[in-house]
Amino acid sequence: MSTAISHHGVSGHDHSHDHGHGHGATMPPAIGLPNTKLCMWLFLVSEVMFFAGLIGAYIVIRFGTAGWPNPYDILAVRVTAFNTFLLICSSVTMVKAFQWSDAGDRGKAMKFLFATIVGGAIFVGIQVYEYRHLLHQPSHVLLEQVEHMMAERGMAVEGHGEHAAAPVSVVLAGMGQSQDQAVKDQLEKLHGLLAEGRPDIKKTAAPSELEELREWDRNVLQETIALAALIPADSKDGKALRKAGRHQNLYPEGFVPSRDNFTSTFYIMTGFHGFHVFGGVVALIAILALYAVRKAGTMAIEVVGLYWHFVDLVWIILFTIVYLM
């Protein structure tokens, strides 16, 4: 963007003696807005319609689908709440960048622009981390929990892909088995099953092969429930196992987009928004670079700020309806 476009816009009085016929003349805006700001508002109007359609479709599907999963059982709500707070803070730094630029302090304006970029980049990074966690087979998450519990009880763990080796022999004596022995035995059984891993079978395989996959999933769920029954429900391990069991029951193959309405709408809505945040970060980097060499001014910061505030507002709505409803 050119520094010829100042924060105050181009008024009709600036060129009262030049109606655009001279070389390098700038046409006055027809409705009192600079062209760059007008274009951004028109773009945001189209974005409002786009996200309104997505949100409206989600609400219809959400309340029209029986047995909708509880987001708290599947999604990292607390982590995303922090991410939401971070994005809101980036809006504050965006405002400060505009204010300092408008006041003529380019140094402070650049610092707040950089802070906004960092906030947006961290937001995208956390979202990518969340996607990787959700797409990862929940059995791997459960394996980590089981190995943690085994380590707390002094049971040696060889690592992923290996069976556990308990230094204390767990004797299935039936009547004489203690509670601690029962827990250790159940941990060994579940760890052995998880460490073997899911059969590497494609979803398009023959029914007989798919049955092997389903049997493995059923065994994992059954052993998880059996272990959870031995652990106090109000303990940290008990809560983690019950959550893992619900997750394994709902999404044994992972939280993949093709699983159900919840997964597909989740990835569509959060994915499109994440793409918008990523685009905003790229635009902010470009504005910062141009601003540093005085090829962009306050107007450029104000225009990209409109987009950034819109993206933040949309995310607050998405977080509320997807993660909290």
Comparing 206 with 29, the larger pLDDT belongs to 206
Q: Residue 313: its pLDDT value, please?
A: 95
| 93 touches 115 (CB < 8 A) | yes
Query: Average of pLDDT values for 8-12?
Result: 40
**Nearest partner of 300 among 40, 22, 29, judged by Cα:** 40
pLDDT of residue 35: 81
What tokens were used for 186? 């159940």
| pLDDT category of residue 173 using cuts at 50, 70 and 90 | very low
Q: How many angstroms separate the CA atoms of 77 and 193, rounded?
A: 29
Confidence at residue 10, expressed as pLDDT on a 0 to 100 scale: 40
pLDDT band at 178 (very low <50, low <70, confident <90, very high): confident
pLDDT of residue 202: 67
Beta strands in the chain (DSSP E): none
In the block, residue with structure tokens 């394996």: 143
Q: If DSSP states are collapsed to H, E and C, what string results for 287-308?
A: HHHHHHCCCCCHHHHHHHHHHH
Q: What pTM, to 2 d.p., does this model score?
A: 0.69
User: With contact defined as beta carbons under 8 Å apart, do 245 and 293 qualify?
Assistant: no
Best CATH choice for the domain 34-136+259-323 from the list 1.20.120.80, 3.30.565.40, 3.90.1150.10, 1.10.3660.10: 1.20.120.80
* DSSP one-letter string for 199-213: ----TTS-HHHHHHH
CB atoms within 10 A of CB 127: 19
Within the chain, which residue ranges are assigned CATH 1.20.120.80? Answer: 34-136+259-323
Least confident of 90-94, 225-229, 313-317: 225-229
